[in-house]
Amino acid sequence: MSRSLRRGAVAAVIIATAPILAACAAGDSAASLKVKPDNAATSIATGDSSLKLNGIVVVTGATGQAPANVTVNIANGGTQPDTLTGVTVNGVPATLTGDMTVQPQGSLLLGGRGKPSATVPTLDASPGQNTTVAFTFSSAGSVAVQALIATGTGEYATFAPVPPPAPTLPPVVLPITPTTAKATATATATGTKKP
């Protein structure tokens, strides 16, 4: 084999394996690993309170209808506890349930089964749209942000509002009166006779 033919063969192997080796060279700091969901986030700092609100989403029921839960992770980087005192979604106040205190150097996950929640009874926007969500804290004050409305399915299923259980009615028992008993006896007595 001639020298120029060997050089050509080596070059062909390098060119053929370059795309494969380049893909392996992306490593654990590849740009695709830096893609983050498009969830709203904001922060508010006043005095001893320094709060970061991350992953803000308004989650409807599985059908895309209200009521809806506001989900957010609130981190307190301050030195004093702060309390979430109110949440509104496009001006509609939410009902707050559970302990809304965010401890210093701690966090509060709002939404999800078994967690504190903020539930709005109505929405004037549909899943896939943005709406204004405002948070009010006892120390830090208020902050508003545009947040996505998502249907309570898939990754948001555990954050969807839980529908109230259907009411169960007790069984209906009709009283037997003498007139009802006589009619039953007469119907039986006057039935078809066998020969």
- Can the peptide bond before residue 164 be classed as cis, meaning omega within 30 degrees of 0? no
CA distances from 73 to 34, 55, 65, 122 (A): 20, 6, 23, 22
The reply to whether 114 falls in a domain is yes
CATH number reported for the structural domain that contains residue 127 in this entry:
2.60.40.1890
The reply to whether 6 falls in a domain is no
Q: For the chain, how many structural domains are there in total?
A: 1
pLDDT tens-digit series, residues 11-29: 776 776 666 666 555 556 6
The reply to whether 2 falls in a domain is no
pLDDT tens-digit series, residues 66-91: 999 999 999 999 999 999 999 999 99
Nearest in space to 75 (alpha carbons), one of 99, 47, 41, 98 = 41
**Which tokens go with 49?**
């309170």
pTM (2 d.p.): 0.67
The reply to whether 166 falls in a domain is no
Q: Which residue range forms the structural domain that includes residue 113?
A: 34-159
The reply to whether 14 falls in a domain is no
